[in-house]
Amino acid sequence: MESVSDQAAKPRGRLLVVLLLLGLLAAVCVGAIYYAGDLSRLQTVVSAQEGRTALRGVTDPGELDQSIKQYPSNKLLKLVALANRDMNEIDAAAARLLDEAAPTPFPKLGDLGTASRNDLEALRRDLKTAQANVATLATRYDAQLKSARDKTETDARSLNVGDERLSSFMAMIDEQHAAWIALNSKRLATRADYYDAYEKCAALLVREFGIYKVANGQFVFPFQSTANAYNRAATAMSDAANRSSELDHERTSLRQSELSRWKAFVGD
């Protein structure tokens, strides 16, 4: 027969076993958490190393897609691919909008020597239409950038890279868009200046039609004041064309600077 002391010892023994089991379970859970944390940090390090390896020799944005394919499961590189796609789309959108301002290329000034009065008046109308179109392009471009941003954010979220990394990535996208908006604003202003100066030349030729002569592809006006007015407008056209070429170089530089930022993003 068990004594009272033996009966009291059994619950204490069972309680001790339960406590030991709970302690063991807690230790296992804590170990698992530390292991998961270590594994996550290791994966982050490996991902960054792969990213740096893939992008190390890339010197042109056009080479990105092929380099990124080396590590198809790398989420950092997938983000870079999204950023590159975003840049290509907003760059192409700007080019399309500028082309839409004047679907038909305008003739060079030197080719207007044989133009009829009707031809010159039609040219003036087309130039005014182009000027009006340019005035609407900034708003249309902003709408296309918003659509591109929404698309990029949706695709980036689907990668499950974590809130902090996603926030950093979208901040980079916003900076990218701001840079392209600034560049496109200058391109639109330059294009508007070109059309305005060209329209002034065409207007003067319409007004002086039948009075001026053409010699060796150059317009010859009977009055110096008229020649001066024409030359000022023609010079403004040339200046705008030169600025446009400079902005083309700035566009190339911007693409290169974006590539450098993506490399830095992967290396963080």
Tens of each residue's pLDDT in the chain, 268 residues: 555 455 555 555 565 554 555 555 554 444 444 443 443 443 455 456 776 777 776 777 777 777 777 877 788 889 999 999 999 999 999 999 999 998 788 999 989 999 999 999 999 999 999 999 999 999 999 999 999 999 999 999 999 989 999 999 999 999 999 999 999 999 999 999 999 999 999 999 999 999 999 998 899 999 999 999 999 999 999 999 999 999 999 999 999 999 889 888 887 5
Q: How far apart are CA 27 and CA 66, in angstroms?
A: 46
Buried b (16+ CB within 10 A) or exposed e, 52-83: eebbeebeebeebeebbeebeebbbbbbbbbb
Residue type, 83: A
Please give the pLDDT value at position 59: 72
Closest by Cα among 183, 198, 192, 194 to 242: 194
**Distance from the first to the final alpha carbon of the chain:** 73
Residue 80 contacts residue 64 (beta carbons within 8 Å): yes
pLDDT of residue 31: 47
Report d(CA 260, CA 265) in Å as an integer. 9
55 sits in which H/E element: helix 4-55
Which residues lie below 8 Å from residue 261, measured CB to CB, with a gap of 6+? 172, 175, 176
CA nearest neighbour of 180 among 136, 149, 134? 149
Give the predicted TM-score (pTM) of the model.
0.78
Give the model's pLDDT for residue 53.
Answer: 73
pLDDT at 147 (0 to 100)? 96
Chain-centroid distance of CA 196 in Å reads 28
Tally of CB atoms within 10 A around 261: 14
